[in-house]
Structure 1
Amino acid sequence: MAARSVLVAGGGIAGTAAALGLHKAGYDVTVVEAHPDTAEDIGAFLTLASNGMRALAELDATDAVTAVGFPLTVLRLLDDRGTEMAHGPLGAADDPALRYRCLLRGELNAALQAEAVRRGILLRHGARLTSVTDAPDGVTAHFADGTTLTAALLVGADGLNSTVRRTAVAPRTQPRYAGQHVYYGYTDGHTHAATDGPPTPPDTRAITMVRGSGAAFGYAVSPAGRTYWFARVAGDPLPVGGPGHRTARALLPLLRKDPTPAAGIVEACAGPVMVTNATEMPLGTPWHTGRVLLIGDAAHAASPATGQGASMALEDAVVLAKALRDSPDPHTAFARYEHHRRPRVEHNITVSGALSRGTRTTPADRGDDDTLTAQLAWDTPLPAAPGEHA
């Protein structure tokens, strides 16, 4: 076992990005992914914010990701009458490398994984993790087929229902419902007319948010004319086994209450939609023990209301790589990483949860400030945590 070997459990956004960062920092990285290919959640889409795109740039992965999806430079906000309340630039709209980007989750996974393989990072599909054994001199991952892998460090990037968290870091901690279930779908060839107005040509630069009376709705139109949309609906959680692929029929009575484009977009959706319960991790969830660390949703999942989940995972990847580069001792590096990441991601959990529960209407701006820019800058050392050298 090499002293600078890292096993990353999870080949999604957080895990593959972490592999890119750790490889750049000089570590020998292996990624293990339970799914047999890159098609997890292929029907769901996401937006990468400017802060996420900045993290990608520090990982030298901008080109790999901008080869898929499409950029967004304008934010529109409509009220429940379809009246435009706001229209302005979105994020770092003037910088092509930092513009928001809309893309399928599966496309992003595939792009990041292809880039990891191109750089010589070992990526093993179909490896379902069952448990983790942490020891003073290394950590061993156990898989369903009876095989094991041992490395100096293990990064748990295996999502909301993390096996790493359950078996090694915080076995009693469970994600909780955040007050909404969320629909994701796409519609081809719709004109986006409000119910009482003329057709409106779609603006392929814009993401439009609708503050509906029965659901929060958002959509963006690709240059090819496909509309990617989501709806967030308050209520009791869907039962176990309930989330998944289903029709959008249940949405329409809520959307038809308002003369906005939302109902028409959903009515024209020909295929099934993806539905999930919005969930979040409790504040203060432990992130590390011994040689094992959690990142991404495994550590700090938030409801999707702020749209920051993927971007926060990309930030994690850069800051973790810098922490281990600047302080190879895992205890010190993990503490440094947590010092810089926990306030930011837990603020996002709090704000996003308040939006989902209806106790807040506007997200705070935590997107791309000077402190974050310095934390992500690869050539800038990551400052020590308070008391680190005491």
Structure 2
Amino acid sequence: MGSTRGVAGVARIIVIGGGTAGTAAALALHRAGFDVTVHEAHPDSAEDIGAFLTLATNGLRALAQFDAVSAVTSVGFPLTTLRVLDGTGTELARRPLAGVQDPLLPYRCLRRGELNAALQSEAARRGIDVRHGARLASVEDGPDDVTVRFTDGSTATGDLLIGADGLNSTVRRTIAPAVDPRYSGEHVLYGYTTEAPVAGPTDLFTLIRGSAAAFGYAVSPAGETYWFARVSGDPLSAEDLANGTPARWRDLLLPLLRKDATPAAGMVAATTDSILVTNATEMPPATPWRAGRALLIGDAAHAASPATGQGASMALEDAVVLAKALRDAPDTESALTVYETLRRPRVEHNIITSGRISRGAHSPATVRPGSLGGPGTTAAPVGDDDLVRQLDWDTNLWTMVTDSSPAGDRG
């Protein structure tokens, strides 16, 4: 189309999906000097506002690389301590969470919609174009550029297409049409209440190893209890998910929680209307991430069950590594190879680890506390020092990867 190629042969980048992965990628790519436009099908920023999540230290470290920590920490509340209880209410462990020594890096609990809105507001403040309300219909990958068509008849053309459109990604259907998310063995309920008969520090996250469900909760500074429950069993049907009511979800969950002597049942009983339920799903490892001028990131590429609580943090890492790879590599193909080389081992380890927890392969109370919901892992095999180097904005990823490769593999 006659555009002048920029860094790595890319001048214009189209991002499909304005959630955490897509908007964070836009912010990081903008900082790296790219012209980027985000297209979000939802008419505003409040998609998935019902569910809450935890941002781990690695996610906040990623945010810091494109100067978005303050935008995100303006919502939600920090968590500094993890407590684990058994089904009798006995405390099994109490540990500080990672990042408590750095005021920018403590874990943060917030609603997904709050995170999306904060990132989109920051993108708008920086002049990044985020367009709402048009749903992707098709992708046409050409020799010189890629064109996307939307259901409203509009089109957009760029040098690279980033599919950050989540678990049911339309972009993924053009890259890996035979691959679908799979059920990971449990359904998850989220709720909020200001009436729970529990008080406690607002920086404490409590995980309960129940006999019939895993349960976690935190109390906000405003006195609102955020809770989740993970229940093993067959997936809920689409009809159940569409027609379920808070009363029905309470009736489903309370008999399981009342088997134990913990505060979980009281919290759920006190929750009258704010309950959300979803089947936990994951992308199969080895799912193709790219074809031609299109690349998948975030949940579209590597969704995991929520058991390790790392979904949003992994998406934020994706954003930084992608922007740096495109900034540092000599051409687009090399950049996307560097990106996949660095990201795939880490995120697929997280898929496997989280899936094992969801399927009951090992107790979440025995896992090293690197993230919440599990209480989690550090998503090895990438070590902490290597991750810090990968995310550090001043580290050249092309040099890092080629210098560590055998001479015959460089190129």
Fold in common (TM above 0.5): yes
- Counterpart contact for 1:184–1:231, Cα < 8 Å: yes
2:188: which partner in 1?
182
- Counterpart contact for 1:351–1:360, Cα < 8 Å: no
Q: Residues 234-290 of structure 1, C-alpha deviation per residue, up to 9 Å, x if partnerless?
A: 000011243356322210000001000100000000214110000000010000111
2:314: which partner in 1?
312
CA distance, structure 2, for counterparts of residue 202 and residue 369 of structure 1: 31
After TM superposition, what 4+ stretches of structure 1 lie above 6 angstroms from structure 2?
none
1:263: which partner in 2?
265
Structure 2-normalised TM-score?
Answer: 0.90
1:196: which partner in 2?
none
- Counterpart contact for 2:193–2:274, Cα < 8 Å: no
CA distance, structure 2, for counterparts of residue 132 and residue 44 of structure 1: 30
Q: Which ranges in structure 2 are unaligned for 5 or more consecutive residues?
A: 6-10, 369-376
2:144: which partner in 1?
137
Q: Secondary structure at the match of 1:243?
A: helix
Change (3 A) 1:229 1:349: same
1:366: which partner in 2?
378
Q: Secondary structure at the match of 2:127?
A: coil
Percent same amino acid at aligned positions? 65
- Structure 2 residue 135 is matched with structure 1 residue 128: yes
Q: Residues 73-95 of structure 1, C-alpha deviation per residue, up to 9 Å, x if partnerless?
A: 00000001111111110111111
CA distance, structure 1, for counterparts of residue 316 and residue 155 of structure 2: 28
- CA-based RMSD of the aligned residues comes to 1.3
- Counterpart contact for 1:14–1:317, Cα < 8 Å: yes
Q: Residues 47-84 of structure 1, C-alpha deviation per residue, up to 9 Å, x if partnerless?
A: 00000000001110011001000000000000011111
2:87: which partner in 1?
80
- Counterpart contact for 1:332–1:388, Cα < 8 Å: no
Q: Secondary structure at the match of 2:99?
A: coil
2:401: which partner in 1?
384
2:164 pairs with 157, 162, 181, which one? 157
Q: Which amino acid in the other structure matches residue 372 of structure 1?
A: L
- Structure 2 residue 10 is matched with structure 1 residue 12: no
Q: Residues 345-386 of structure 1, C-alpha deviation per residue, up to 9 Å, x if partnerless?
A: 000000000000001224453267111111000001112364
Q: How does 1:33-112 map to 2 (within 5 A)?
A: 33-112=40-119
Q: Secondary structure at the match of 1:38?
A: coil
Q: Residues 166-203 of structure 1, C-alpha deviation per residue, up to 9 Å, x if partnerless?
A: 02x111111100000000111103232xxxxxxxx311
Q: Residues 271-322 of structure 1, C-alpha deviation per residue, up to 9 Å, x if partnerless?
A: 1411000000001000011111000000000000000000000000000000
Instruction: Give the structure with the higher percent helix.
Output: 2
- Structure 2 residue 229 is matched with structure 1 residue 231: yes
Q: Secondary structure at the match of 2:342?
A: helix
2:8: which partner in 1?
none
2:323: which partner in 1?
321
1:278: which partner in 2?
280
Tell me which moved more, 324-333 or 343-352: 324-333
Q: Which ranges in structure 1 are unaligned for 5 or more consecutive residues?
A: 193-200
Change (3 A) 1:241 1:132: farther
Change (3 A) 1:241 1:324: farther
- Structure 2 residue 207 is matched with structure 1 residue 206: no
1:250: which partner in 2?
252
CA distance, structure 2, for counterparts of residue 176 and residue 111 of structure 1: 30
CA distance, structure 2, for counterparts of residue 111 and residue 40 of structure 1: 13
CA distance, structure 2, for counterparts of residue 384 and residue 333 of structure 1: 11
CA distance, structure 2, for counterparts of residue 74 and residue 189 of structure 1: 23
- Counterpart contact for 2:182–2:282, Cα < 8 Å: yes
Q: Secondary structure at the match of 2:234?
A: coil
Q: Which amino acid in the other structure matches residue 209 of structure 2?
A: R
CA distance, structure 2, for counterparts of residue 328 and residue 153 of structure 1: 15
CA distance, structure 2, for counterparts of residue 121 and residue 23 of structure 1: 8
2:292: which partner in 1?
290
Q: Secondary structure at the match of 1:384?
A: helix
Structure 1-normalised TM-score?
Answer: 0.95
Change (3 A) 1:241 1:152: farther
Q: Residues 2-53 of structure 1, C-alpha deviation per residue, up to 9 Å, x if partnerless?
A: 4310000000000000000000010000000000001111111100000000
2:153 pairs with 139, 146, 158, which one? 146
CA distance, structure 1, for counterparts of residue 239 and residue 139 of structure 2: 27
1:198: which partner in 2?
none
Q: Secondary structure at the match of 2:321?
A: helix
Q: How does 1:323-342 map to 2 (within 5 A)?
A: 323-327=325-329, 329-342=331-344
CA distance, structure 2, for counterparts of residue 60 and residue 241 of structure 1: 42
Q: Which amino acid in the other structure matches residue 12 of structure 1?
A: G
